[in-house]
């Protein structure tokens, strides 16, 4: 009798262990997949529903994700990561990504993926002016970079600090290229931001979506998807402007973590984010899917016309990466 009890107990423990193992196998850890950003919340629910894989929410940003992946390199925790495009080659060079070419890989434009499969674009955003019309106090909505330097917009313009935020650095480059500069010649942007100081700009160090919605920052250099979210989801009196001089399009990428604990589940997640269903969901969250044809008619109707987007050019990620430190150094020295 006692032996039978021991045997049953052992079998029960083994069964529980098997259940635990099965549950563990149905997980994938994604770094920088915050539910409130880019509607990752809906994506994580869809992954659970369609794949049976639980992906816990993670509120890191790109820099924090890379730092964690490097720190955990000897004993990785994450299976996949989501990054701003500027961080893609940095992550590859750090040895924290593993090559994987997901389903529909061949359909991704060559300049939006690593040729060896270390990272690939899933969607993109366009930089421009996120404007709270009500907070302008009757002033016209600015239509150009030059407009922001007009005295009537004194104290109304904001941009993220280029010394601490990648979107701030991207804003410097967007202005620079629009005003005739190059990735190597930053003179036009440095002069522009130096002159803009006369208008007492608001320069926060972190994402300031809520401050635009509330009207605290009436004009912010930011992405189209934030402005559309404000207009159509939060019903705020905002609109998005692509400046007449031009702007840039910035990709967001994903990759498989090197030696992650659940690589097969990670691969399934990466397959999913390029699926027709997922790509349509990104569009519904006001991001432009890497497969443009997956942007539904309803979603596209909420974007500015194609003629406006024609003024925004794809950013060269490698050249931008080379310009990041010079942007920080020159801004610190000549603008701050």
Residue pLDDT tens, the chain, 336 long: 434 444 444 444 444 444 344 444 599 999 999 887 788 999 999 999 999 999 999 988 888 899 999 999 999 999 999 998 988 988 999 999 999 999 999 999 999 999 999 999 999 999 999 999 999 999 999 999 999 999 999 999 999 999 877 888 999 999 999 999 999 999 999 999 999 999 999 999 877 899 999 999 999 999 999 999 999 999 999 999 999 999 999 999 999 999 999 999 999 999 999 999 999 999 999 999 999 899 999 999 999 999 999 999 999 988 998 998 999 999 999 998
pLDDT of residue 25: 55
pTM of the full predicted structure?
0.82
Which sequence spans correspond to the domains of the chain? 29-124+250-300, 126-248+307-335
What does the DSSP assignment read for 10-51?
Answer: HHHHHHHHHHHHHHHHTB--EETB-TTSTTHHHHHHHHHHHH
- DSSP bridge partners of 123: 252, 289
Q: What is the dihedral of CA 205, 208, 212, 217, to 10 degrees?
A: -10
Rounded CA Rg of the chain: 23
Q: How far apart are CA 311 and CA 184, in angstroms?
A: 21
- The total of other beta-carbon atoms located within 10 Å of residue 198's CB is 10
pLDDT for res 18 = 41
On the question of a common fold for 29-124+250-300 and 126-248+307-335, the answer reads yes
56 vs 86: CA distance, rounded Å: 25
29-124+250-300 CATH, one of 3.30.1300.10, 3.40.50.360, 3.40.50.970, 3.40.190.10: 3.40.190.10
Q: Give 88's Cβ-side CA count (13 Å radius).
A: 27
Helix (H) or strand (E) holding 140: none
Dihedral sign, Cα of residue 308, residue 214, residue 198, residue 226: negative
126-248+307-335 falls under which CATH superfamily?
Periplasmic binding protein-like II (3.40.190.10)
């Amino acid at each position: 009798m006692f032996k039978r009890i021991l045997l049953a107990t052992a079998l029960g423990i083994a069964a529980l262990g098997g259940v635990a193992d099965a549950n563990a196998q149905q997980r994938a850890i994604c770094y920088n997949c915050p539910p409130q950003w880019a509607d990752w919340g809906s994506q994580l629910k869809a992954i659970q529903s369609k794949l049976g894989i639980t992906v816990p929410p993670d509120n890191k940003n790109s820099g924090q994700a890379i730092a964690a992946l490097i720190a955990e390199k000897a004993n990785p925790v994450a299976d996949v990561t989501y990054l701003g495009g500027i961080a893609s080659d940095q992550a590859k060079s750090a040895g924290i990504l593993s090559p994987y070419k997901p389903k529909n890989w061949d359909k991704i434009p060559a300049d939006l993926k690593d040729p060896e499969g270390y990272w690939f674009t899933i969607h993109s955003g366009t930089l421009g002016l996120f404007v709270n019309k009500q907070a302008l106090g009757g002033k016209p909505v600015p239509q150009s970079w030059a407009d922001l330097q007009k005295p009537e917009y004194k104290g109304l313009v904001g941009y993220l600090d280029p010394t601490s935020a990648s979107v701030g650095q991207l804003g410097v480059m967007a202005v620079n290229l629009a005003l005739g500069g190059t990735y190597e010649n930053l003179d036009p942007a440095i002069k522009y931001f130096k002159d803009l100081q006369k208008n007492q700009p608001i320069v926060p160090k972190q994402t300031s979506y809520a401050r635009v919605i509330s009207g605290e920052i009436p004009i912010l250099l930011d992405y189209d998807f934030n402005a559309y979210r404000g207009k159509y989801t939060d019903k705020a009196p905002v609109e998005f402007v692509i400046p007449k001089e031009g702007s840039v399009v910035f990709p967001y990428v994903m990759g498989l973590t090197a030696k992650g604990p659940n690589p097969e589940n990670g691969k399934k997640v990466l397959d999913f984010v390029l699926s027709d269903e997922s790509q349509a969901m990104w569009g519904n969250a006001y991001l432009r899917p890497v497969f443009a044809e997956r942007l539904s008619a309803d979603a596209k109707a909420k974007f500015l016309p194609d003629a406006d987007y024609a003024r925004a050019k794809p950013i060269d990620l490698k050249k931008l990466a080379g310009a990041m430190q010079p942007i920080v150094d020159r801004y610190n020295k000549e603008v701050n």
